[in-house]
Structure 1
Amino acid sequence: MMGSSNNQVSAGLRPVGNASVDAKMFAMAFDASPTPMVVTDPRLADNPIVWVNDAFLTLTGYARADLQGRNCRLLQGPDSDPRTIDAIRDALRRQAPVEVELCNYRKDGSSFWNAMTISPVRNDSGELVYYYAAQADMTEKHALELALQETNDELERQVHEQTADLRAALEEKTALLHEVDHRVKNNLQVISSLVLLKARRTPQGEARDALQGMAERIGALSMVHRMLYSAGDVTRFNLEEFADDFMSDLTAGIDPARTAVTAEVDPISLPAAIAAPLALMLHELATNAVRHAFPNDREGRVSISARRCETGLRLQIEDDGIGRNAAAPNPAGFGCSLVEMVVKQLRGVITWHEPGSGTRVEIVIPLQSESPRPATSAPREATLGQAG
């Protein structure tokens, strides 16, 4: 059959249009093609090979006599993918074309990747007479893909190791910074306690007031390090959480029936470096408002807000008290000077307003464009007191 297969195949080939080309020339052209080709006859038992070209023999290492009457499955072996084989069988069952890549084996047992396009060939009556398959050796491509995959796996392994090392170093640095914040917090608390103890043993007057004020400022700084110690990210802090801690400390000694303190703070992520000056500034302004805006048991309200703005962070502390001009002068006080110094340090702008009753302070602090990072939660209002 193999000896006469060229005639069998060429008998089914016909010229196109008016061209009068001998069908044997097509068979000769296919036989001389560098592309491996094979033809099988589904009309015979087990769809055997009836024609191959020399390129196919070179690719597989078989001789024509080895292939006579054999099915193409003789090229399959242990690593031939069953799913791909099933796809070929399904296409043959449906008499449909199919393109696949399959691990095949040469006569000497060596494997190669075979990219094949299998097409049904029909006669003028539409009857299926042959299957034609053009093939290509894709072994080098698969070897390159495997090498690339191995290289990629190795790179991923190295990246994973380096990432693990960096993560370990970062965790060590974070733990160290947390420990620093913890120790600074403890030291500040001790210092604050010592200053308060000295204040209690100092006669009433400017010196005692100054010591108590200093102890409170040290306490505000201690609160900052307490918050940073408990935060997950040592380089940043959440302004809303910061405000919660600050408000808890601020209102600890306030009568809620006389003075109401509210805060509306956006959940903005800020650099840890500005936590301390921000705490000092808020402590000074809010404490002064609570203590000095409502003399003689006067009732009132203090509101604190912190919002993002085009230029950075906008802070506002407002009260409906007697106003700065009506307050008793305090020659020993330096709260306003401290606030203005901190604002200048943060490259901000402070504006004092006297709306007729009370005082409103507006502070704008510039932030780098990448610094503010809103948290996922929405702003909230924390009401910590009700005016009677």
Structure 2
Amino acid sequence: MTDTAHQAVPAALAQTTLASAFSESPTPMVLTEVRGGAHPIVWANAAFLALTGYAWHELEGRNCRMLQGPLTDRETVARISAAVAEGRSFEAELVNYRKDGTSFWNGMTLSPVRDATGAVTHYYSAQADMTGKHSLEVAMTLANIDLERRVSEQTADLRATLEQKTALLHEVDHRVKNNLQVISSLMLLKARRTPEGEARDALNGMAERIGALSTVHRMLYSAGDVTRFDLREFADDFLGDLVAGLDGERTAVSAAIDSVAVSAAMAAPLALMLHELATNAVRHAFPDNRAGRVSITARRRDGALHMLIEDDGVGLAAAIPNPAGFGRSLVEMVVRQLRGTIAWSETTPGTRVEISVPLDAISLREAADTTAEELPQWAK
């Protein structure tokens, strides 16, 4: 069968077929006639009658404005009138009313019907009941409002809890700092009353280590974020005190430390490690008034903290033995605690210590558990 054969459908049959299809369609449809601007209804299908609740004799010859009511949007109505006056198509959703007075959201499309000369003779409109869609939108809007309210309330609660926790951490750090300072002062007082020798040296050394821990808690207390610790700030503070007690003409200390923010759980172990390596270098690398230098660098690279401590002293092998000392054991224990690596090496002259520690090495719980497990080794 050719295309010509498909097109050769009698006009009367085509009109009858279209009329039957529109009449039986489940989509509400209505046709108005352009007659002096009155636009009376001249045809409506059964679906339109079912949607509006009117019988045909109640609609025939009347204008679709009869479906409007108190909640019908006047601006939308004005836009519809303008489109019809200009003979163009239009789509809109607005509130209409059934015969029984109940409202529904009507999604309509208006299309002009033209004659052979192009003049608009009728307007055809397809309707759709959009009430369910709008009810869902209203429900979703109300749900979103309620959700936003709940989120806002929970956020406020969390913020208040966080503020309380932060205040508590500040208070804990403040009290720990004060207690450590008292303990350090007591140990220094005892050291001054202890005869010179290993016992006094041990007391002084422990007092300095406790002082380093006190500095950590002081910085955590004074910082805006009690969960973070800036290694460079601690190093500047600690090394400033260390250099102040040295003969600058004999021993030079240089430091290049990045501003690396580490977790509060890593603060104490790193502070102990830096304290131990720096003080051991200036005290034991240059015996017999030997001049020398100590350099300390700390860089953040590839998610890890890389530290390098070098001196041009006598070296590990030539250093004076200290049976009571445990500085090296302490440093190695701290590096293990932080899941890092450490390498000691002799240079010509001096000693080189390389340390690498992952910056997410340890949590607060792990810090407490690991330190408790390692404590017996401190005395070895």
Aligned to 2:208: 216
Higher RCO structure (Cα 8 Å, ≥6 apart): 1
- Name the CA shift for 1:109/1:307 in 2 (closer, same or farther; >3 Å): same
Which amino acid in 1 is paired with 2:243? I
* Alpha-carbon distance in 2 for matches of 1:100, 1:357: 89
Question: Of 231, 234, 237, which residue of structure 1 is paired with 2:228?
Answer: 237
The Cα RMSD (Å) is: 3.0
3-state SS of paired residue (2:344): strand
- Over residues 296-327 of structure 1, what are the superposed CA-to-partner deviations in whole Å (9 max), with x where a residue is unaligned? 372524122132336x4332222344433344
* Alpha-carbon distance in 1 for matches of 2:243, 2:309: 17
Question: Of 177, 187, 194, which residue of structure 2 is paired with 1:185?
Answer: 177
Aligned to 2:297: 304
- Over residues 262-298 of structure 1, what are the superposed CA-to-partner deviations in whole Å (9 max), with x where a residue is unaligned? 2232534x33222211111111012222344455372
**Is 1:250 paired with 2:239?**
yes
Identity %: 60
Q: Is the 8 A contact 2:310 2:353 kept in 1?
A: yes
* Alpha-carbon distance in 2 for matches of 1:271, 1:140: 54
Q: Is the 8 A contact 1:250 1:287 kept in 2?
A: no
The CA deviation at 1:352 is 0.7
* Alpha-carbon distance in 2 for matches of 1:318, 1:43: 102
The CA deviation at 1:37 is 1.0
Q: Is the 8 A contact 1:290 1:302 kept in 2?
A: no
Question: Of 151, 166, 188, which residue of structure 2 is paired with 1:174?
Answer: 166
Kindly report which structure 2 residues correspond to 1:115-264, keeping only aligned pairs within 5 A, or say none: 115-234=107-226, 236-238=227-229, 241-254=230-243, 258=249, 259-264=252-257
3-state SS of paired residue (1:350): strand
- Over residues 178-201 of structure 1, what are the superposed CA-to-partner deviations in whole Å (9 max), with x where a residue is unaligned? 322221111111111211222233
Aligned to 1:276: 268
**Is 1:313 paired with 2:305?**
yes
3-state SS of paired residue (1:251): helix
- Over residues 101-160 of structure 1, what are the superposed CA-to-partner deviations in whole Å (9 max), with x where a residue is unaligned? 222222333210111122222223332222211001121222233233333433443444
Gaps of 5+ in 1: 1-15, 372-388
**Is 1:98 paired with 2:87?**
no
TM-score (norm 1): 0.78
* Alpha-carbon distance in 1 for matches of 2:37, 2:82: 18
The CA deviation at 1:81 is 3.5
TM-score (norm 2): 0.80
- Name the CA shift for 1:71/1:360 in 2 (closer, same or farther; >3 Å): farther
Which amino acid in 2 is paired with 1:195? M
3-state SS of paired residue (1:304): strand
How many residue pairs align between the two structures? 351
**Is 1:78 paired with 2:67?**
no
- Name the CA shift for 1:25/1:349 in 2 (closer, same or farther; >3 Å): closer
* Alpha-carbon distance in 1 for matches of 2:350, 2:35: 103
Q: Is the 8 A contact 2:265 2:362 kept in 1?
A: no
Q: Is the 8 A contact 1:289 1:302 kept in 2?
A: no
278-287 vs 117-126, which deviates more? 117-126
Which amino acid in 1 is paired with 2:298? S
Gaps of 5+ in 2: 1-5, 364-380
Aligned to 1:19: 9
103-112 vs 69-78, which deviates more? 69-78
